[in-house]
Amino acid sequence: MHGESLNQQDLSPEAIEHLDQRIVRALEAQPKVSVPADFASRVARRLPAKHPTSVTSTHYGQGTMLIGILLTLAALVALSLHPTGPDRFGLLESMLFAQFLGLVVWFSVLRHNTR
């Protein structure tokens, strides 16, 4: 095969199979690599310094939840005192809508900041 041309249009199925086997053998042969002995330690030295993580806990979630509950309660009390007021369900609906909108904005900002 050495010096022999493979440029043959009429390769038999056996020859094609033989060629495929040789190709697969060549592909499966793993190249030998020489990794420098100090490679791992060099990588370890290049690792970025860790930023100190914040241990101060925030209570934004609890605070927002409390404000939401109080607003809803106040609205319910106000509506119960004036049962004949105009469009009370519309008002309640708007309040809940505003609270959900606030949650959406909050989670969006949180997701953006943690990327």
Partner 1 sequence: MSTDLTFEQVVRDHQEMVFRTLLRLTGSREHLDDLAQDVFLRLYRALPSFRGEALITTYLYRIAVNVAQDEWKRRRRDRNSHVSLSDDTSGWEDRLAHPDRNAEQQMEESEFAQSVEEQLQCLSEIERTILVLYHQEERSYDQIAYALGMPIGTVRTHLHRGRKKLREGLQQRPTHERSATCTANR
Q: What is the footprint of partner 1 within residues 13-42 (CB under 8 A)?
A: 16, 19-20, 22-24, 26-33, 35-36, 39-42
Inter-residue contact 102 to 64 (CB < 8 Å)? yes
3-state secondary structure of 55: coil
Residue 55 touches partner 1, criterion: CB under 8 A: no
Selected binder of partner 1 within 13, 18, 47, 107 (CB under 8 A): 47
Beta carbon nearer to partner 1, 33 or 81? 33
Closest CA to 97 of 71, 78, 61, 62: 71
Inter-residue contact 91 to 79 (CB < 8 Å)? yes
Distance CA 115, CA 112 (A): 6
Beta carbon nearer to partner 1, 16 or 103? 16
Q: Give the residue carrying structure tokens 């499966």.
A: 28
Selected binder of partner 1 within 13, 46, 87, 90 (CB under 8 A): 46
Judged by CB under 8 A, which stretch of 7-15, 69-77, 79-87, 94-102 contacts partner 1? 7-15
